[in-house]
Structure 1
């Protein structure tokens, strides 16, 4: 059964900073910006800018389980925040999704946003012919999500996590093999210089 995204998740914009984000080492929150987030590992928490928030209160702090969806650039991916280590807000270039956990697991929703063919097709279709790549709220609200029983969602999430761990191992093995090949080549050149 597919359900429109707004029926299973709250969708809100990131925090609207006035002007540039000013660093303040004693500030009250971290700011998640697009440059700080990767699809594979999420936010790089230790390198985030700390700032002092102003404006509307209470501040829309990120919570464990929230999902970040970048809205600029044409490379759309969902990032599930399993844990948010300290007060943080998302910059305006994100939509923040907060799943209704009685109906859908946040990790399952993020997985489906990243890999669901209907979702990818929908986002591609709304971008077709657009001069500037970016998602509007109505684009995101138009996403329909499959919502199987929670137990089945949990099995999908576990399987996806196992596959990601295997991918990480393969990437590390490829990097190690590449270093070995470079080392062998450097060693060969070193021997050639000695023999010259």
Structure 2
């Protein structure tokens, strides 16, 4: 087993001083804990005129993990997108190229990973974990080729599920459009 803090640099997401919707519209997406799901790639998120520095911006290969509630995780991969994580997230950045971000993302989305976070969390109604405790989580040490294969396989499945969900949304929009236009024709 390896300690998470030996594999990645861990930082908290950016703390906005006021509600996100009070910031002017801009070009920087704000990713929040509620966004960490299978719809991640096509969910509309607030875009703000970001007041922080470039060091807060996400880079491809960053892993976003919820610091509160269930430990959902996603791998940020979009180099063309300017984005920042909110303070409800931890941002994990691999310390070197031998660290596999797909594997770590898969670990935190697994029952084993969720249990590890839960055991180090505290709180009555909404559990949360400190950055120090989060860094103490033990990540299974398996051969790098198996780690890469497992991480890629699970990431491919997650990507496929996202495409299916995107298609469902697209078809729902077509259905709604057909219904709306038909009803407008009959009431006109």
Which of the five TM-score ranges fits, normalised by the shorter chain?
A: 0.7 to 0.9
Measure the CA separation in 1 of the matches of 2:16 and 2:123. Answer: 30
The answer for unaligned runs of 5 or more in structure 1 is 176-196
Contact 1:29/1:51 (<8 A) preserved: yes
Contact 1:14/1:90 (<8 A) preserved: yes
What are the Cα deviations for residues 134-164 of structure 1, in whole angstroms up to 9, with x where unaligned? 1211221121112333322221123324544
How large is the Cα RMSD of the aligned pairs? Answer: 2.9
What is the deviation of 1:87? 1.2
**Which residue pairs with 1:113 in the alignment?**
108
Q: Secondary structure at the match of 2:56?
A: coil
Count of aligned pairs = 167
What are the Cα deviations for residues 117-137 of structure 1, in whole angstroms up to 9, with x where unaligned? 2x3332222236645421211
The answer for unaligned runs of 5 or more in structure 2 is 169-188
The TM-score, its normalising length taken from structure 1, stands at 0.71
Contact 2:38/2:161 (<8 A) preserved: no
Measure the CA separation in 2 of the matches of 1:169 and 1:52. Answer: 30
What is the deviation of 1:84? 4.2
Equivalent residue runs for 1:9-158 within 5 Å: 9-21=8-20, 22-25=22-25, 27-35=26-34, 37-42=35-40, 44=42, 47-55=44-52, 57-72=53-68, 74-115=69-110, 117=112, 119-127=113-121, 130-158=124-152
The TM-score, its normalising length taken from structure 2, stands at 0.74
